[in-house]
Structure 1
Amino acid sequence: MSDKTKHNETDLPLSAKQMKFAQLLANPDDRRSRRAKIREVGVSPSTAYRWLKDDSFLEYLNDQIERYTEGHLATAWNSLIRQMKRGDTKAIKLFFELKGKYKQEIEVTEKRKLEDFF
């Protein structure tokens, strides 16, 4: 198998080192410095920083971040619900914003104010 793997059909191939570096950067449990991650991958800092400017690498990195965050949505949602149950008004507002209710309510209220004005 080649050291290069296609990210998807339209992207340029990424090397195994690039993919490993992206995975290390995206992993929220890995709290080491960027420099330590670069050393682990075995490339020069200038090479790693060049990768960070490459669209194909950044797309792969964003995909890796998305995979990590998708796995934690339920945890975040449960935490938000617990905060709401404790009466945290910021959590309640965020909940309604996420559900698309808060903005609509403001728009309806503003529209009613304008109708009353005219």
Structure 2
Amino acid sequence: MAEKFDESIDIDTRRGTKIGLTGKQIQIAQILADPSETRTITKMCEDEGVPRRTFYNWVGRAEFIDFVNSLVEKRTDAELAGVWGALARKARTGDSAAIKLFFEMKGKYKSVQEINHNFDSLSDEEREKRIQELMNKVGDSSNS
């Protein structure tokens, strides 16, 4: 597994240099995308020899943030099968929250919300507008 991980870093490094990131920016991006990283920004900058101001300048660049996000996406995709398995195991034990989440993720469960509202004091136009706002809030666009 470590061999494959090292290979993916090489691919990410090449991609980072293609978009104009330095080796240090790529290194910091990889740290930021690491879910096991627990250091504060201050401590990470100190340990990695990057001034905090420089770090925050990098974070202000779309290329840097896009690169970090692509690393996060890649790592979360790599965990997907394991997470689905853990969720399914938990649901099979009867855990109602896991069962609900499982069905939500599969698009087989929709939350039902009840809305009570008094429209008596509104004009017809105001009433229609308010109904549309409420429908949009609960995610129903069928009244559009």
- TM value normalised by structure 2: 0.61
User: What 5-or-longer segments of structure 1 have no aligned partner?
Assistant: 8-12, 107-118
Aligned to 1:30: 37
Name the CA distance, whole Å, in 2 between partners of 1:6 and 1:88. 47
Q: CA deviation at 1:25?
A: 0.9
Kindly provide the amino acid, as one letter, of the partner of residue 88 in structure 2.
I
Task: Compare relative contact order (CA 8 Å, sep 6+) and give the higher one, 1 or 2.
Answer: 1
For 1:51, the equivalent position in structure 2 comes to: 58
Q: Equivalent of 1:86, from 81, 84, 93?
A: 93
Q: Structure 2 residue aligned with 1:64, among 56, 68, 71?
A: 71
Root mean square deviation, CA, Å = 1.9
After superposition, the C-alpha distances for 1:65-114 in whole angstroms (9 at most, x for unaligned) are 112111211221111011101111111111111111113x96xxxxxxxx
Residue matched to 2:18: 6
**What is the DSSP-based 3-state SS (H/G/I as helix, E as strand, rest coil) of the residue aligned with 1:32?**
coil
Q: Distance in 2 between matches of 1:51 and 1:40?
A: 17
Q: Point out where structure 2 has 5 or more consecutive residues left out of the alignment.
A: 1-15, 113-144
Shift of residue 36, structure 1, vs aligned partner:
2.4
Identity of aligned residues (%): 40
